[in-house]
Amino acid sequence: MKVTLLGTGSPIPDPNRAGPSTLVQAAGQHIVVDCGRGCVMRMTAAGVFPPFVSAILLTHLHSDHISDLNDIVTSRWIMSPNPIVTKIFGPVGTKQIVEGLRTMLSLDEQYRLDHHADLRSGPGMQIEVTEVSPGDSFSIGDVKVVVGRTDHRPVSPTVGYRFEAEGKVAALAGDTVPCAELDALCASADVYVQTVLRPDLVDAMRKMLPAQAPRLGDILDYHSSVEDAGQTAARAGVKTLVLTHYVPAMQPGQEADWIAQAAKHFSGKIVAGPDLTSLEA
Ligand SMILES: [Zn+2]
Ligand SMILES: [Zn+2]
């Protein structure tokens, strides 16, 4: 099982980091979890062209986690020589997002149908949405996926995913504060991927940007800090903790500094790095 950080950024634009997105590859499947800004470029860099994506899983419907969903569904359709169904799994609300997306893309869909006879002979852009709830499980090929509740309130519902395949386990939490359900989702996982922020650096930003201070302050209460992620990893007994979704953006060379905060609480392996950082479970 291979886990690749396609995008390690956040809502704040960064020239070097795509938006939140992670690729899980196991048992011949290529599963994309969240699809933030630029994720299709990164996916391609990881050797997975859009038609090869087995399924797209969304942890929640914050814009930074879904902003390139349109790019994946469109490029899958227009790049595939045969009819192809795009499978999207996400929390309640995902159907509404995809309905809106289809409306947004309807002019483009018509342009392409008008222009390409072979596309016209097919069924058009096919998207299959499955809304999932905590406790659900499903399979993508031979990869078992378990859905767990996370806590990113006031954003609700939000979920994390536990992948089981090839005798390995990867847990992808998405945006959440620590909670018992999160501990259960990543219990004894080989790899636990957590979106994180650094309260100390966010506080420094608040002092430098007083006009933005209230909004920056708001983000502190619904994300795991790097130290929180270390504590969750320790409680859950995971082997490797992977940090992503760096808020504020982690600058090159600061990896050790971020890792040290998690290492205060967790003695296992900790990974942080640029987009396309990958590891084998
Ligand atoms: Zn979020
Ligand atoms: Zn986020």
Q: Which two tokens stand for residue 89?
A: 């799994």
pTM (2 d.p.): 0.96
pLDDT at 178: 97
What is the pLDDT averaged over residues 223-227?
95
Which DSSP state fits 67?
T
> Is position 190 annotated as part of the catalytic site?
no
Q: Which two tokens stand for residue 195?
A: 């979106």
Ligand 2 center to 153 CA (angstroms): 12
Can you tell me whether residue 55 is helix, strand or coil?
A: strand
Does residue 215 or residue 236 have the better pLDDT?
236
Ligand that lies nearest to the alpha carbon of residue 195, given by its number in the listed order: 2
Partners of 278 in the β-ladder: 4
* Euclidean distance between CA atoms 41 and 78, whole angstroms: 16
Give 219's pLDDT tier (boundaries 50, 70, 90): confident
Ligand 2 center to 18 CA (angstroms): 12
- Given the candidates 3.40.50.720, 3.30.1370.60, 3.60.15.10, 3.40.50.920, the CATH classification of the domain at 2-188+269-280 is 3.60.15.10
Mean pLDDT of the chain: 95
Give 215's pLDDT tier (boundaries 50, 70, 90): confident
pLDDT at 240: 98
Ligand 1 center to 163 CA (angstroms): 21
Residue of 14, 34, 64, 190 with catalytic role: 64
Collect all residues with Cβ–Cβ distance below 8 Å to 36 and sequence separation of at least 6. 7, 9, 18, 19, 20, 21, 64, 65, 66, 67, 68
